[in-house]
């Protein structure tokens, strides 16, 4: 049940971010440093989420089939595959490597 | 990444309407919507983005959320990156607070988009609150990629509403399919999550500097994993990224790119989707 509360709070805060741009005087947000941080933080968070989902299992690091998924996704992206194909490539690589015995 | 956009020929805004301005133009002027370049782009971006709601739905239920929690994220939070961040932290054993923090920090850029769109479209009354909800990477990029104010408006609403409808539809499809799958690891769904995050990151890595930021944040994450509870390494990386953003001087719109570029054809070689915060007055 507590997850529900954090989830709904996330929804409220996400909408608050969006609305703030429309309601706050532009001069406040026009500060280039604000959009710069919004951008670098987007890159940093997505890079971090990629790494956590590839290497972390709980509080330890593990090299397993997910590494193959990362490689397969990178290859698919390199060849400009659509998002859904990239995701399927990642799933296929992880499932395939597990079939071959690499966890 | 969107090679099949060639199917929808992009019309350059050549025969532009001389009567610029308000929403009344759409009703009063004989501009047929299918002929509007922004509407075409908005529809094709809606299909491309909406479809990958399937992967969100499936990953969400396999990371431990139930069907209605998954739908609540797509209906109410409605921002792909933040939704993936929330379930990504939960899947890794992180707490609800950590999931909320990651999703919220990732949503900051939508505030910047809101400010840009407010300056461009000037929505009034209830439209402003509706516009805020569908203010995401793709609707912003579709709108700012147009030069004519009426087209900017059409592009924003077409992409925003189109993606909202299809994203939620396909989230439901994915969530139902995901619950029927059984052991998610057997199907490589943890690998699918890895691929999804790399897919969200990839289009933002234009040039050497964003790559450097990504590498530094990835390293910070790896170093933090053994020492702090699950989910927190992501927030450590966010802090590092914020410090880099504060002290360095790069493009002010770095990282503010859509996951699927609505104008992929025009952007071969060209950088950026257009307006920075200071360019429209």
Question: What is the tens place of the pLDDT at every residue in B231-251?
Answer: 889 999 999 999 999 988 777
- Average pLDDT on A8-30 reads 88
Residues B178 and B41 in one domain: yes
- Interface A-B, measured as beta-carbon pairs within 8 A, has a size of 369
The interface predicted TM-score (ipTM) is 0.92
Helix (H) or strand (E) holding A56: strand A56-57
| Predicted local confidence at residue B262, as pLDDT | 81
In a domain, B269, yes or no: no
Are the beta carbons of B217 and A96 separated by less than 8 Å?
A: no
User: Phi first, then psi: what are they for A2, rounded to 5°?
Assistant: -65, -30
In angstroms, what CA-CA distances link B169 with B40, B178, B189?
20, 14, 20
> B142 and B243: one domain?
no
Find the CB nearest B198 among A39, A45, A74.
A74
Contact B238 A29 (CB under 8 A): no
CB-nearest partner of B111 from A18, A59, A90: A18
Task: For residues A91 and A73, give the distance between their C-alpha atoms in angstroms, rounded to a whole number.
Answer: 9
| Domain identity same for B118 and B164 | yes
Q: In chain B, what are the helix, strand and coil shares in percent, each to the nearest 5?
A: 65, 0, 35
User: Does B49 share its domain with B85?
Assistant: yes
* Least Cα separation, residue A28 to chain B (angstroms): 10
Position B8 scores a pLDDT of 33
Same domain as B174, residue B219: no
**Pair (B51, B170) in one structural domain:** yes
* Least reliable range by pLDDT among B33-47, B163-177, B186-200: B33-47
User: Is the model more confident about B33 or about B134?
Assistant: B134
Is B278 a member of any domain? no
Task: Give the DSSP letter of residue B9.
Answer: P
Distance separating alpha carbons of residues B32 and B79, to the nearest angstrom: 30
Q: How confident is the model at residue B110 (pLDDT cuts 50, 70, 90)?
A: very high
B97 compared with B271, residue with greater pLDDT: B97
Question: Residues B142, B262: contact at Cβ < 8 Å?
Answer: yes
Does B267 score more than 70 pLDDT?
no
CA A46-A49-A54 angle, to 5 degrees, is 130
Is there a contact between B188 and B62 (Cβ–Cβ < 8 Å)?
Answer: no
pLDDT(B279) > 50: no
Does B169 lie in the same domain as B50? Answer: yes
Min distance A5 CA to chain B CA atoms (Å):
8
pLDDT over 50 at A89, yes or no: yes
Mean pLDDT within B129-134: 97
* B32/B37 Cα distance (integer angstroms): 10
By the 8 A CB rule, do B238 and A41 touch? yes
Above 90 in pLDDT, residue B260? no
Q: Does pLDDT of B3 surpass 50?
A: no
Indicate whether B166 and B38 sit together in one domain: yes
Q: Tell the residue number behind the tokens 């199907």, with chain if given.
A: B187
- Are residues B57 and B175 part of one domain? yes
Q: Which pLDDT belongs to residue B44?
A: 87
pLDDT at B13 over 70: no
Q: How far apart are CA B261 and CA B258, in angstroms?
A: 6
Q: Are B134 and A40 in contact (CB under 8 A)?
A: no
B273 within some domain: no
Yes or no, beta carbons of A45 and B237 under 8 Å apart: yes
Which 8-state DSSP code applies to residue B272? Answer: -
Q: Is B205 exposed, middle or buried (0-12, 13-18, 19+ CB in 10 A)?
A: buried
Q: How many residues does chain B have?
A: 281
Q: How far apart are CA B281 and CA B277, in angstroms?
A: 9
- By percentage, how much of chain B surpasses pLDDT 90? 52
CA distance B9 to A103: 45
State whether A47 and B217 contact (CB < 8 Å).
yes
Of B119-123, B157-161, B182-186, which range is least confident? B182-186
Could you tell me what percent of chain A has a pLDDT over 90?
67
Structure tokens at B221: 């994450």
Report the SS3 class of residue B170.
helix
Q: How many other β-carbons are positioned within 10 Å of the β-carbon of residue A9?
A: 15
> Are B105 and B233 in a shared domain?
no
> Are residue B175 and residue B241 in the same domain, yes or no?
no
Residue B146 lies in a domain: yes
CA B2 to chain CA mean position, Å:
15
Residue B24 has pLDDT above 70, yes or no: no
Q: Does the beta-carbon distance from B191 to A72 stay under 8 Å?
A: yes
Residue B256 binned pLDDT confidence (cut-offs 50, 70, 90): confident
Residue B138 gets which letter from DSSP? H
How many angstroms separate the CA atoms of B201 and A94, rounded?
20
Q: Closest chain B residue to A95 measured between Cα atoms? A: B188
Query: Which of these ranges, A59-68, B149-158, B269-278, has the smallest mean pLDDT?
Result: B269-278
Give the model's pLDDT for residue B6: 32
Q: Which residues contact B96 (CB under 8 A, 6 or more apart)?
A: A2, A3, A5, A6, A7, B90
Does the residue B108 lie in any domain?
yes
Of the partner residues B77, B252, B260, the one whose CB lies closest to the CB of residue A14: B77
Structure tokens at B70: 């998954």
Whole-number Å distance between alpha carbons of A34 and A38: 6
Full residue range of the structural domain in which residue B214 is found? 205-251
A36–B256 CB contact, under 8 Å: no
Which range among B151-155, B239-243, B259-263 shows the weakest confidence by mean pLDDT?
Answer: B259-263
Number of domains in chain B: 2
The answer to whether the Cβ–Cβ distance between B195 and A87 falls below 8 Å is yes
Weakest-pLDDT range from A4-13, B75-84, B190-199: B190-199
Identify all chain A residues contacting B133, using CB atoms and an 8 Å cutoff.
15, 18
H-type alpha helices, chain A: 2-23, 26-29, 32-55, 65-78, 83-99
Cα gap B57→B167, rounded to integer Å: 9
**Residue B76: inside a domain, yes or no?**
yes
């Amino acid at each position: 049940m507590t997850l529900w509360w954090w989830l709904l709070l996330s929804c409220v805060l996400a909408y608050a971010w969006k609305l703030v741009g429309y309601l706050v005087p532009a001069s406040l947000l026009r500060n280039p440093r604000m959009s710069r941080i919004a951008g670098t933080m987007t890159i940093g968070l997505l890079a971090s989420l990629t790494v956590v989902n590839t290497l972390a299992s709980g509080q330890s690091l593990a090299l397993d089939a997910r590494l193959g998924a990362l490689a397969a996704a990178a290859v698919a992206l390199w060849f400009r595959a659509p998002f859904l194909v990239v995701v399927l490539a990642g799933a296929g690589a992880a499932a395939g490597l597990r079939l071959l015995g690499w966890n | 990444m969107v090679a099949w956009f060639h199917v929808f020929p992009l019309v350059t805004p050549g025969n532009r309407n001389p009567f610029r301005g308000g929403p009344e133009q759409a009703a009063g002027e004989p501009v047929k919507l299918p002929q509007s370049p922004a509407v075409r782009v908005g529809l094709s971006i809606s299909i491309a983005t909406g479809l990958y709601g399937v992967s969100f739905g499936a990953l969400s239920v396999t990371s431990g959320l139930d069907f209605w929690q998954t739908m609540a994220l797509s209906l109410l939070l409605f921002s792909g990156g933040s939704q993936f961040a929330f379930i990504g932290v939960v899947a890794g054993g992180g707490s609800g607070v950590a999931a909320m923090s990651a999703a919220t920090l990732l949503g900051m850029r939508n505030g910047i988009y809101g400010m840009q769109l407010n300056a461009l479209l000037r929505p009034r009354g209830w439209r402003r609150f509706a516009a805020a909800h569908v203010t995401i990477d793709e609707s912003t990029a579709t709108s700012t990629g147009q030069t004519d104010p009426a087209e900017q408006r059409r592009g924003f609403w077409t992409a925003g509403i189109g993606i909202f409808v299809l994203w939620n539809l396909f989230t439901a499809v994915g969530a139902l399919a995901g619950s029927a799958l059984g052991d998610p690891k057997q199907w490589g769904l943890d690998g699918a999550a890895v691929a999804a995050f790399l897919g969200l990151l990839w289009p933002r890595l234009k040039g050497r500097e964003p790559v450097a930021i990504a590498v530094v944040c990835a390293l910070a994450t790896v170093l933090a994993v053994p020492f702090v509870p699950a989910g927190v390494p992501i927030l450590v990386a966010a802090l590092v990224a914020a410090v880099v953003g504060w002290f360095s001087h790069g493009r002010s719109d770095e990282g503010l790119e859509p996951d699927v570029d609505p104008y992929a054809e025009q952007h071969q070689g060209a950088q950026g989707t257009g307006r920075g915060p200071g360019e429209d007055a």
